[in-house]
Amino acid sequence: MKRHLTAAALALSGVAGIATIAIATPSRSVAARTTEQTRTFAIGNMTCPTCPISVKTAMSRVAGVRTVKVDFDTKTAVVTYNASIATPAKIAAASTDVGYPAKLSSN
């Protein structure tokens, strides 16, 4: 309701000859999406179906990581993260540090 009144007030002030400037500011969720990235990592040393749990846990603990999906069959992890907080190097290091070497996949 407030936005409708503001828009009406701006429209009326323009009619009255008063110069107005409309400034659009993106919402916080839009800004967050612009820095969000999804990258695929090749994961080494995964030898059993429970290995992905360790990889997911380690990568998820990196500040800025939103989601981690590890696929044992393809030996990959797809990670969505806030690029203004996390980096692929930090995410890969987290997995590597727990015994599962990770590197960005060329896919």
pLDDT tens, residue by residue, 46-84: 999 999 999 999 999 999 999 999 999 999 999 999 999
The number of distinct structural domains making up the chain is 1
Is 94 a domain residue? yes
Instruction: Give the model's pLDDT for residue 106.
Output: 81
How crowded is the C-beta side of 55, counted as CA atoms within 13 Å? 28
Is 17 a domain residue? no
**Which domain range does residue 52 map to?**
27-104
Is 65 a domain residue? yes
Task: Find the CATH number of the domain harbouring 80.
Answer: 3.30.70.100
**The sheet that has 76-82: what strands, in order across it?**
65-71, 76-82, 36-43, 102-104
Is 18 a domain residue? no
| Average of per-residue pLDDT values in the chain | 81
